Chains A and B, each alone.
Chain A
Amino acid sequence: MTESTAPLAPLPVAAPRRDHLLRRLLRHRSSRLGLILLAGYVAVIVVGPLLVAGSPTSDPHYQNLGESLQGPSASHWLGTDQLGRDELVRLVIGARYTILIGIGAVVAGVLIGVPLGALSGFYRGWVDLLIQRFIDIVLAFPHFLLALALVAVLGPGLRNLIIAVALASFPRFVRLVRASVLSVREQPFTEAARALGVSERRVLWRHVLPNSLTPVIVQAPLELGSAILTASGLGFLGLGVRQPTPEWGTMLGESRDLIFSNPRLLTYPGLCILGAILAFNLLGDGMRDVLDPRLRSRKRLPRRLRRLSGKAGR
């Protein structure tokens, strides 16, 4: 995965009627806001490095102690940090790490969790029992603390961070897919495929699984937000990426001692992280409203009338 590719297409899953979905998401108030915010982040990731290329800070190893802790000025719009690096440039470059870690962790979580959930829900029996007990155990650990322990053991660094966050969060995908597969495998078309002599394995991977992924798609943005929250929290504790990578959580953690003298160094990275998590949460809320028929707007008919009129009141 290269760092500068647009990370908007969230998951490697087939999303039927995708532009239809996009249009519906744009109509929904919160997902529209989320998408606009995300577009901003993507723009910063793609265009940002070109704009800051001239600045010496764009080399992460740059230091200039003579210019440390300056306030905002024409040459340093957001001032400089304790090592004299331009804060804005570091924030711009940091965007890619935050998004990359989020997407990396969720993709890894999906790659581990979806197959396990599918096997668990489809074959049931002892496979299910085994996988579910295992998931119970992983879920017994507080999610953030498991990631924390894993990073502590594996050591810091981008790759280990992604692994730790993914390992701590994949059980949720297992649960999600299992529940979905359990209901889809009872659908008539599954029976039909079996009746046509399709092998069990093929029924699972070609028929049941693709139809079980909607909950994963709905959950994905929220998981992205959660992954960024976890990863930046680890960064804050000094357990994230290695120095001097300008990851936002790490930047915040490094500036903690400056809370009395230079609180602005705590404000900017925090705002950036908040914006990213907010964007994914808003998108996730919209996604759930749009894709989950149980949630509704007030402008809909009472339940009894809906039952009678089909989809009239949607």
Chain B
Amino acid sequence: MTALLDVKNLRTHFHTTSGVYRAVDGVDLTVHAGRTLCVVGESGSGKSVTALSVMGLIDAPGQVQPGSEIVFDGRDLLRLPERQLRSIRGRDITMIFQEPMTSLDPVYTVGYQIAEAVRAHNDVDRKGATERAIELMRLVGIPSPERRIHDYPHQMSGGMRQRVMIAAALSCDPKLLIADEPTTALDVTIQAQILELMKDLRDRLGTAILMITHDLGVVAEMADDVAVMYAGKVVETGSVTDVFNRPQHPYTEALLQSVPVLGMSKEHPLRVIQGMVPSPLNWPTGCRFAPRCTEAFDRCREELPPLFTVDDQRSACWLCETGARGSAGVEEIYR
């Protein structure tokens, strides 16, 4: 398996008047060509900032810290000049966002906005770009695209707008599609349709997907691989079956146990993770999950654990230093 995107020790900090907000603070991720990696974590764990950092869309006061590496297709994006970065952005790496209601420009037609993505990277005239836009709209399942290219965003439903976003993102056959909670703002039935569409497109076009979500249901549906984020760091990665069945990090385990599932037995009541997510202005020393962890011991509160390799997984927990930690996977919990 070749690594398409390799993020190493990514740190993105925001220098605000009230201090340094370390939203992303040492993230390691790998997306393999043609595979789907889901980054999962609670609000404020740094998932979205990670995605925006890969896109090179971090604005002041935010800054990707020196020492970070974002290697895409063999090139470190952080060392590329803005011009080259822009030619990758939107062509090789594209992104769709959480808020289909506000993510499209209200004063241009959706056709124009798809064609704009086409024209940004291809030498085509307006007519050619429009034809391509119609083609793309058909691809993402928008009915009668010849007519709907003249629609403005406010004339479309949320699901349709998200399809438009996807169409624009696919305009140049990207190698990597970053999806930042693409279904969170949609109705449940529409969510399923959009996920179905993305799976279908992935299988047909072979695009790798980096999907950000807090919804473990989405992970189960979409992911080949999973990265669990907590407090600006990745605490566990591995294939979705491994991580779901044998979570190595106590946080992953707690997260899995906090989701209600039909048919749960009474012996396994929902688990609540005690305490609050710490503030990025002031991460705790040692393992950042230690204050909320039921298994923490002295070392956890003093030293930050690195990612340990456990079989095919990696976990940032001191308990994994010497190999697999006994844990309850999904199958056990829901049996």
Contact = CB atoms under 8 A, between A and B. Distances in A.
Task: Say if the two chains contact directly (CB < 8 Å).
Answer: yes
Interface of A: 297-302, 304-305, 308-309, 312-314
Majority SS at the chain A contact face: loop
Contacts, number: 43
Contacts of B84: none
Contacts of A313: 14, 16-18, 21
A300 B43 contact: no
A302 B62 contact: yes
Nearest to B97: A304
25 contacts: A297-B17, A298-B61, A299-B15, A299-B16, A299-B17, A300-B16, A301-B14, A301-B61, A302-B14, A304-B48, A305-B14, A305-B49, A308-B43, A308-B44, A309-B44, A309-B281, A312-B16, A312-B18, A312-B21, A312-B279, A313-B14, A313-B16, A313-B21, A314-B17, A314-B18
Nearest to B281: A312
Contacts of B279: 309, 312
Interface in B54-72: 59-62
A301 B21 contact: yes
Interface in B4-35: 14-18, 21, 23
B238 interface: no
Nearest to B99: A304
Interface string B132-159: 0000000000000000000000000000
B52 to A, nearest CB: 9
Contacts of B59: 302
Contacts of B21: 301, 305, 309, 312-313
B48 A298 contact: no
Contacts of A297: 17
Contacts of A309: 21, 44, 279-281
A312 B17 CA distance: 9
A137 to B, nearest CB: 33
B248 to A, nearest CB: 27
Interface string B175-200: 00000000000000000000000000
Nearest to B280: A309
A302 B49 CA distance: 10
B279 to A, nearest CB: 6
Interface in B261-302: 279-281
Nearest to B43: A308
Shortest Cβ-Cβ A-B pairs, 10 listed: A308-B44, A313-B16, A299-B17, A308-B43, A299-B61, A301-B14, A299-B16, A312-B281, A301-B16, A312-B18
Contacts of A304: 48
